A = this chain, B = another copy of it.
């Protein structure tokens, strides 16, 4: 599985949660089996692409029958590391941090945000959706003792790099960056950036063009 993982393309990885959600919905209606063309049709994808993506997780459908939904769900969960819930620390207990702590979907995908960290004395010692908000300088010691590998950055842009540096020094291996800035981290650190401003740029420029065409 290790070799397959290395060759997995980012677009393929990004599609797996959609397959997972669709199969989960089907399972809830009592269905046992699903075909590749059915998944492709529902998600507006090419069937060959779907087959290739699912093969990546080790799943192969039976000709003229399809995939057993239960096996498919287990295959995706295992492949994405969702079977073992992954503990994470979140830095920045503001609005966005609180939203992520309260996001009900993450537990289904194996993510468990165990604590938030902040610099603000007014926030330290409180709880956020049942999880403690701790002083930022406690992060290194706790990350090491609790073997936490994922750090979520929801501090403002100006503080993001120093928080990322602290996480790297604390043994954090993967950083999920929600701040509107690019982070410099060693090559060995896995970095995934959710850039709201990049997404907004695509939306507003395409809207401007669409309004111009129709005016």
Residues of A within 8 A of B (CB): 2, 5-6, 8, 10, 13-18, 21, 43-44, 79-82, 86, 94-96, 98-99, 101-106, 109-111, 149-150, 156-157, 173-174, 176, 180-182, 188, 190, 192, 194-213
The listed residue (B8, B98, B103, B173) touching A211 by CB distance below 8 A is B173
Q: Which chain B residue lies CB-closest to A44?
A: B182
> Which residues on B sit within 8 Å (CB–CB) of A82?
204
The 5 closest A-B pairs by CB, nearest first: A81-B208, A99-B99, A14-B198, A95-B99, A17-B197
Q: Which chain B residue lies CB-closest to A197?
A: B17
Known contacts A181-B21, A190-B203, A204-B109; is-contact A209 B2 (Cβ 8 Å): yes
Subset of 17 A-B contacts with CB under 8 Å: A6-B209, A14-B195, A15-B198, A17-B200, A17-B201, A18-B198, A80-B204, A94-B99, A95-B98, A95-B103, A98-B99, A103-B196, A109-B204, A110-B204, A174-B203, A176-B199, A194-B199
> Which residues on B sit within 8 Å (CB–CB) of A194?
194, 196, 199
A81 to B16, CA, bound (A): 34
Known contacts A80-B208, A96-B103, A99-B95; is-contact A150 B15 (Cβ 8 Å): no
* Smallest CB separation, A57 vs chain B (Å): 10
Contact call B81/A204, Cβ cutoff below 8 A: yes
